[in-house]
Amino acid sequence: MKIEHLGIAVKSLQEADDLFARLLGKENYKHESVEREGVITSFYNVGDSKIELLEASNPESPISKFIEKRGEGIHHIAFGVDNILDEIERLKGLGFVFISEEPKDGADNKRVVFLHPKCTNGVLVELCQEK
């Protein structure tokens, strides 16, 4: 398991891209829309990990609700795993609770699943595996 990326909820992807391009000294490598989740993403490589900026594409999306409730900021931490189904079973066996136990297609060519923050000290944790 490794830190694959940190997800950051933003109100304006354009403004956040401008900020992170200046901060990191490089442009993003990808914009991607995940319509099922109502989000548009922007990815930056940072060493062996990534930063994922997330802007809501509709007012009912989880990112829109997150920003409304908590404001912009860190939304989740994603751990890269070799076998997402094995990790789900392992963590379930240890008592962890998932928002959904079935991996879905996510951004950046990944299969993803989220653990419920109530079992991870209030942090939304994503597991992701390359497709």
pLDDT digits 0-9 by tens, 42-89: 999 999 999 999 999 999 999 999 999 999 999 999 999 999 999 999
Classified as helix, coil or strand, 14 is helix
Cβ proximity of 75 and 5 under 8 Å = no
pLDDT(101) > 90: no
Span 84-99, average pLDDT: 97
pTM (whole model) above 0.85: yes
Cβ burial, residue 22 (10 Å; 0-12/13-18/19+): exposed
How far apart CA 34 and CA 82 sit, in angstroms, is 23
